[in-house]
Chain A
């Protein structure tokens, strides 16, 4: 079992519209048997934070194409993308680059 972890999630570029227009969220991921990675985080977001139209944020098991992901202000492509193991107090940012957000 891993201990619960606290994260700051940020949504921008219009992605916040799917979260009641709220840009910053402080969340606590519950304790579970495997360590939390971004793949699991996306499932958790879909079940707990997304207010509508989940296909506009998540497609398949990853983020919708056109949404950038930053882990502590660095490109998630440098951090292993979906497999990045989340640490307590991490800051994860999702920025939509799509025209309508």
Chain B
């Protein structure tokens, strides 16, 4: 017990009991401390809050509101906007149910007075091909340190105050925010019903996934694409994602099982710079779901329960779900489980796969956009798995073209597929996409019955990259020949 005055309302760690008001102070302080310690969100920066409707993201939005309304010097100084993505079609919800959920969400978001965006996952079918390309040119240049940035921001404000324009500027920002939100919610509702064919296409795509593991992973990947797209098109350079340490501990374990070990620092760390121009930050990663749920209950923070893919699923229905059952069961018997796993994640750093360096488009996974982990030597486990898979595929599919060089070997070794579109190994065949993916995304994609169901921005970009790689190969050969002659 921190104070000896009030009665305790919850235990966070063994022997660590809090009364209501000490808990509030602790919770609010933790958010500010997390942002203060990491110093990646700059004053005046546009930050998109990725909001799922669940307890953690509601607590996050509430903390941002709290932080912005505070007096200097503890005031947060970034410019927030909120994004909610409706995934109802994937979980086979009716439009009426989705509409009800979205109006509930809309009411919560309106009350924040932040600008907000409500999209349906169907929007994936309208994304441009350039979506998956790195926007290296647009990385905002941050000169100097965080301290200087804060200093210059305060300097500007002071100068404005002395000129007496601070008030006017403040009012302008407010108008700007109000204006923004009115543009974004200009229709009678802030959301609109997606085209029926897009809903059908989305369902088709998820139905083509053979396992719940692949479905959950696919949803995670595609949702991130849509978040990135909204961030880029609306000029947000940071995205705040509300994962608690409980969720991150589960993700750490399940990502190892999903073959994403190489990306753990990005997938679970405080800041994730895989996209280059937009950086994901996870300010809730110090809170357990118990803390969050208590905070929301005690201080009337709303939240909306929305059924997910694993709702009412049995324990071993997917790797992600099984990892969650495992962690929560361990946590029940050993209350330090989550914090131990979580602290492990804090010690992980990206080493060779440094994503801050501008790289070739081809070096990034087409789907998760992490630096490819597949350029490994012939002695690696990855190589061995791939080899044995190729061999077993050859065995089972004798008359079907082999995995590699589909163009040359299909249709009995002829060149026919260049001319005829009837060839089954079209440009967007599995093999052509697979070589553009990291190990884990390859496993996910192999669980789909058909690649053609993927949204066109993915297929087109895959085609584009494949062509570029082929061109590069040709040039490389030429350059090598040239080089050897020189010697």
Which chain B residues have a beta carbon within 8 Å of chain A's beta carbons?
Answer: 7-11, 17, 55, 246-247, 250, 289-290, 293-294, 297-298, 303, 305, 307-313, 320-321, 324-325, 328-329, 331-332
Contact = CB atoms under 8 A, between A and B. Distances in A.
27 contacts: A13-B303, A13-B305, A14-B311, A17-B305, A17-B307, A53-B312, A65-B325, A65-B329, A66-B328, A68-B293, A70-B294, A74-B8, A74-B9, A75-B9, A77-B10, A77-B11, A95-B293, A95-B297, A97-B290, A98-B324, A99-B247, A99-B250, A99-B321, A100-B311, A101-B305, A101-B311, A101-B312
Interface string A54-71: 001000000001101010
Given A53-B312, A95-B297, A12 B305 contact: yes
A93 B297 contact: yes
Given A65-B331, A65-B332, A97-B246, A78 B312 contact: no
A99 B310 contact: yes
A24 B15 CA distance: 32
Contacts of A99: 247, 250, 308, 310, 320-321, 324
A70 B9 CA distance: 9
Contact of A78 (B17, B289, B328): B17
A73 interface: yes
A56 to B, nearest CB: 7
Contacts of A17: 305, 307, 311-312
Contacts of A37: none
A100 B9 contact: no
B312 A56 contact: yes
Contact of B9 (A12, A13, A78): A78
A23 B416 CA distance: 63
B30 to A, nearest CB: 18
Interface string A8-25: 000011101100000000
Nearest to A70: B297
A100 to B, nearest CB: 4
Contacts of A97: 55, 246, 289-290, 293, 328
Contacts of A68: 290, 293-294
Given A13-B293, A66-B328, A100 B308 contact: yes
